[in-house]
Structure 1
Amino acid sequence: MLALTLTAELNGVTDLRSDDTEANPFYYSFRVQCTSCRETHPNWVNISRFESHEQSGSRGEANFVWRCKNCKREHSASVRNPPATYPHSSPPQRRNIIEFDCRGLEFTEFKSEGDWLATGLESNTKFSGIDLSEGEWFDYDEKAGEEVSIKDVKWEIRRA
């Protein structure tokens, strides 16, 4: 089991979460490594909890299936639960955002691509289209009359 964790400073917003619906799936982008031969896939791979791929040998389905080009073994990863929200806290605390059941592979690095959502802490304003690829985000909450931000975004992949 691997978990993607997040630590971030939320100012004026709470409940940060990926914009992830069946109609508009969120793709988590990772570097992946074979645990058998330690070969790292040369490209970023994308995983959606709404996609299923057949595993060879009638072993069922997984959200991500990969055959290592070096050792020729097939590996898989499946999303365990829907993604969690990241609440406002002071000081910021590390939280599991999403967990994966990985078989024969490890995720070694995460790249934030795609849109995130948040809610105004006091105003309940809905913020969408949040881009965390640069590690920070700034906006203005009209209802609250103040700037809101997400800063010091740190992603980590840990054993769950």
Structure 2
Amino acid sequence: MVKIGLEFCANLENLVSISPADDSYVWYLKLKCGCCGEITDNWISLELHEKQSLRDGRGDANIVIKCKFCLRVNTMDILPDTRNPYSNSDEFQLIVVFDCRGIEPVDFDPREGWVAKTEDGRTFTEVDLTEKEWVDYDDKRRQTVGVYEVKSKFRKL
């Protein structure tokens, strides 16, 4: 079992945090086979509460994927209770941990399903990071709020 953390970085404007809305958030990743190094062509989606059975019937995982090049079957799980809101503007911060067996994530596409919070507790739902940025207006405080320059990287833990 190899634990790999997803580290997130963004410039937050007039926000104290941003995070996936809830446990049903869909994580879109590109994965690399640990056996042959082949990287998936398409984004692979993982959800915490969606499980796939292993072929031998001895368990399940959030994703069970067969490498199209070497045919090895690999698995990945989102570790429960490892999700953290992002709050360190312009610094990388761990936001989730994956249990990887035979594969490792190499790219992350944040897409939609995020929630942003201001200092006074106002919440912006339906934040979409598909374009790697998001901007809105806080009527109460009469100021722009935004998430800019979204980046991510993975780190073995």
- Tell me the TM-score normalised to structure 1 length: 0.89
Hey, what does 1:84 align to over in structure 2? Answer: 84
Q: Give matches, 1:62-101, under 5 Å.
A: 62-82=61-81, 83-87=83-87, 89=88, 92-101=90-99
The match for 2:156 among 143, 154, 159 is: 159
| 1:18 Cα deviation after fit | 0.6
**1:135 and 2:135 matched:** no
What secondary structure sits across from 1:56 in the alignment? Answer: coil
Identity %: 29
> Which stretch has the larger CA shift, 63-72 or 96-105?
63-72
Hey, what does 2:21 align to over in structure 1? Answer: 19
- Tell me the TM-score normalised to structure 2 length: 0.91
Structure 2 unaligned spans of 5+? none
| 1:93 Cα deviation after fit | 2.0
| 1:42 Cα deviation after fit | 2.0
RMSD: 1.4
Hey, what does 1:43 align to over in structure 2? Answer: 42
**1:113 and 2:111 matched:** yes
Q: Deviations over 1:87-118 (max 9, x none)?
A: 1x46x321111110000001111112222101
Q: Provide the C-alpha distance between the structure 1 equivalents of 2:9 and 2:110, rounded to a whole number of angstroms.
A: 13
Q: Alignment length, in residue pairs?
A: 154
Q: Deviations over 1:6-27 (max 9, x none)?
A: 1111121122111224xxx211
Moved over 4 A (4+): none
The match for 2:12 among 10, 13, 23 is: 10
Hey, what does 2:141 align to over in structure 1? Answer: 144
Q: Provide the C-alpha distance between the structure 2 equivalents of 1:2 and 1:120, rounded to a whole number of angstroms.
A: 29
Residue type of the alignment partner of 1:114? E
Residue type of the alignment partner of 2:13? N
Residue type of the alignment partner of 1:86? Y
Residue type of the alignment partner of 2:126? G
